[in-house]
Amino acid sequence: MCGIFFTLLKDSSYDLSKIDVELVKKRGPDFSNSLTVQTSTFVSYFFASVLSLRGSQEHQVTQQPFRCEKTGNILLWNGEIFASHLINVSKNENDGTKFFESLSYHSLFNLIESIKGPYAFLFYDKKSECIYFGRDKFGRRSLLINFNPSGSRVLTLSSVKSTSMDTLEYQELKANGVYKLDLQTLSLTLFPWSNQIELNLDYLSNLKSSLPVLNYFISDFNNDITDEFNENFIHDDLVDKFYLILKQSVLRRVQNIPNLCKKCSNNLGHLKFSPVNSNLCEHSKIAILFSGGVDSTVLAALVDECIPKNEPIDLLNIAFEKSGDKKDDFLVPDRISGLKSLSELNPERKWNFVEINIKLDELRKERDEIIKHLLYPHQTVLDDSIGCALWFASRGKGHVREKDEIIGYTSEAEILILGMGADEQLAGYARHRTRYEKDGMKALSEEIKMEMERISSRNLGRDDRILSDHGKESRLPFLDEDVVSFLNELKVVEKCNMKLDRGFGEKYLLRKLALKKFGLAFCSKLQKRAIQFGSRVAKMENIKEKASDICDRIAIDLKFSE
């Protein structure tokens, strides 16, 4: 995982020291570097910070930006290639390096459409004098854009807006294809995915679209609504198939990772892999944002099956104080459900249940100094609540209980496993049941289909900015391309059962998997509860406000645009 930043300047005398990349740096604590390219017309500034999670012992940290001395081409890469039929990344190789090398014998478009995994990238093709950039189809990695052809800074792209020194007004780059900026004409062209329904070209000035050139290799959504809900549709064979494909998704995300945690890596001179003793580090390498709900508990059980038995796993459980100085101030719903679900996980595994307790004064301080900048350009009350909960949870600073002792603990795991994407695909939200009860099966099917069509434009970029601020990488098994294809091929009646009680019929396929494969009785019957309510962060300010309201607490003052 990396932080990337690029700006294209008309003025060669522009003071590059004015450019603030501090929050971009925090995303990649292992290495950072910049390159400047000057032509008769423009100055191009490339910056990258690196969190090194893939590579070999001999080459501990892959350095970016990538630059080819022969061609002058430059790549900024923030992603993970978990699979590709064109790019073969072996155990000890870095995927960014392999992607850059592959550009010598495959077209950029062919490489991009072959990738399974999250990414945001920028590629400078010196020969054609063009800049290419984009995000993966689901928008799992953040990339913000400011495009002003008549300004002194023509194009700026960044993983995150930095602090108040950065006065540019950004938008989230839409994850609808690959963009090309021609440096000779300053024309901006979108090369969309073949199944892109809405291009929304008006969000950037002078943006044009070509014919679709990017093939989309994910199965089409199954619109079959001929059947009514019946428990027989979600049978054991179907559960077994879902289990196998979801387990493979988790395995991709927890294998071939450093065998040293952040703390031990720093103590050994920033080595990411122990070259001598693989047991040198006994700390957790993987953490799971853990509420005790069915999504996070199933993921915990799958991670348990996929990594060595001697490796501890951190379960990060967030709570915000309820009121006063009572002893049970942090016994919020997600703490209660987290502890109950923990009791049903593999007792042979060392689980570090990290109780992360946040008081109002700390919330306000970190929100004002850091979190609001990460949330930008999102600015609603809901963004505030979810963003703050995710930021404190992923920081991993809290305590664990060992017997009767409470011990301060900070998770050093650099890989975060989260359950985003389960609700969207398996009818997990309350609005799905409401839509079914009001308008029937066809309406429910359309709602689920729409969830995945718009997922890239909703919250994944925001969440990536928040989670990566601690130098950690989020990995989302439910949004693996193979998992999405599998679920797309199923009928609605094979994913959920709205004839069953509220809180049980939603995500029924996943609930049956939890019970059948792991005996997780508690979470399989636990009703969906959003993180802002389960952690009680939504109650912290004690103000009556709607989730969709603009939130003054996270407002950013942009005094001017360059």
Using the 3D structure, point to which of 178, 209, 240 is the last residue of a domain: 209
Give me the amino acid identity at 328: D
Helix (H, G, I), strand (E, B) or coil at 125: strand
pLDDT band at residue 560 under the 50/70/90 scheme: very low
Distances (CA, A) of 78 to 1, 34, 158, 177: 5, 15, 11, 16
- Residue 430 covered by a domain: yes
How does the average pLDDT of the chain come out, rounded? Answer: 91
Tokens 């301080």, residue?
365
pLDDT band at residue 562 under the 50/70/90 scheme: very low
Q: Are 68 and 153 part of one and the same domain?
A: yes
Cβ atoms 417, 477 nearer than 8 A: yes
pLDDT recorded at residue 382: 93
Higher pLDDT, 296 or 258: 296
Q: Are 248 and 109 part of one and the same domain?
A: no
As to burial, measured by CB atoms within 10 angstroms (0-12 exposed, 13-18 middle, 19+ buried), residue 208 is exposed
Q: Residues for the chain: how many in total?
A: 562
Q: Are 189 and 285 part of one and the same domain?
A: no
- Residue 444 covered by a domain: yes
Q: Are 144 and 241 part of one and the same domain?
A: no
Q: Are 305 and 447 part of one and the same domain?
A: yes
Token readout for 15 is 């003071």
Q: What is the arithmetic mean of pLDDT over 351-369?
A: 96
Q: Are 120 and 259 part of one and the same domain?
A: no
pLDDT recorded at residue 561: 42
Q: Are 325 and 420 part of one and the same domain?
A: yes
Q: Are 123 and 267 part of one and the same domain?
A: no
Cβ atoms 273, 62 nearer than 8 A: no
pLDDT band at residue 184 under the 50/70/90 scheme: very high
Contacts of 280 (CB under 8 A, 6+ apart): 259, 260, 264, 274
Q: Is residue 277 over pLDDT 60?
A: no
Q: Is residue 216 over pLDDT 90?
A: no
Higher pLDDT, 203 or 8: 8
Q: Are 82 and 122 part of one and the same domain?
A: yes
Q: What are the beta bridge partners of residue 38?
A: 43
- CATH number, position 434: 3.40.50.620
pTM (two decimals):
0.95
pLDDT band at residue 200 under the 50/70/90 scheme: confident
pLDDT recorded at residue 16: 86
The proportion of the chain whose per-residue pLDDT surpasses 70, expressed as a percent, equals 94
Higher pLDDT, 53 or 242: 242
pLDDT recorded at residue 264: 82
Contacts of 422 (CB under 8 A, 6+ apart): 295, 428, 478, 507, 510
Counted domains in the chain: 2
- Residue 559 covered by a domain: no
Least confident of 6-10, 25-29, 245-249, 276-280: 276-280
Q: Which of 280, 262, 374, 255 is nearest to 30 (CA)?
A: 262
pLDDT recorded at residue 57: 54
pLDDT band at residue 303 under the 50/70/90 scheme: very high
The proportion of the chain whose per-residue pLDDT surpasses 90, expressed as a percent, equals 72
Where are the alpha helices (H) located in 272-380, listed in sequence order? 294-306, 333-342, 360-366, 372-375
Q: Are 174 and 269 part of one and the same domain?
A: no
Token readout for 79 is 């992603």
- Residue 340 covered by a domain: yes
As to burial, measured by CB atoms within 10 angstroms (0-12 exposed, 13-18 middle, 19+ buried), residue 238 is middle
Q: Is residue 492 over pLDDT 70?
A: yes
DSSP 123: E
Using the 3D structure, point to which of 149, 174, 209 is the last residue of a domain: 209
- Residue 243 covered by a domain: yes
Least confident of 48-52, 149-153, 290-294, 323-327: 323-327
CA gap 150, 205 in Å, rounded = 11
What are 531-558's pLDDT values in tens digits? 888 888 888 887 788 888 989 999 887 6
- Residue 222 covered by a domain: no
DSSP 117: S
Least confident of 99-113, 154-168, 171-185: 154-168
pLDDT band at residue 502 under the 50/70/90 scheme: confident
**How many CB atoms lie under 10 A from the CB of residue 145?**
20
Tokens 């016994």, residue?
331
Q: Which of 264, 80, 50 is nearest to 272 (CA)?
A: 264
Q: Is residue 477 over pLDDT 90?
A: yes
What are 402-449's pLDDT values in tens digits? 988 999 999 999 999 999 999 999 999 999 999 999 999 999 999 999
Least confident of 81-90, 204-213, 452-461, 479-488: 204-213
Domain of residue 465: give its range. Answer: 231-554
Q: Are 141 and 277 part of one and the same domain?
A: no
Q: What is the arithmetic mean of pLDDT over 297-301?
A: 99
Higher pLDDT, 543 or 19: 19
Helix (H, G, I), strand (E, B) or coil at 327: coil
- Residue 218 covered by a domain: no
Q: Are 194 and 239 part of one and the same domain?
A: no
CA gap 18, 166 in Å, rounded = 8
Q: What is the arithmetic mean of pLDDT over 45-67?
A: 84
Higher pLDDT, 40 or 553: 553
CA gap 440, 271 in Å, rounded = 57
Q: What are the beta bridge partners of residue 74?
A: 67, 124
- CATH number, position 27: 3.60.20.10
2 is catalytic: yes
Q: What is the arithmetic mean of pLDDT over 519-535?
A: 91
As to burial, measured by CB atoms within 10 angstroms (0-12 exposed, 13-18 middle, 19+ buried), residue 328 is exposed
- Residue 317 covered by a domain: yes
Using the 3D structure, point to which of 155, 177, 209 is the last residue of a domain: 209
Q: Which of 70, 15, 76, 13 is nearest to 46 (CA)?
A: 76
What are 442-457's pLDDT values in tens digits? 999 999 999 999 998 8
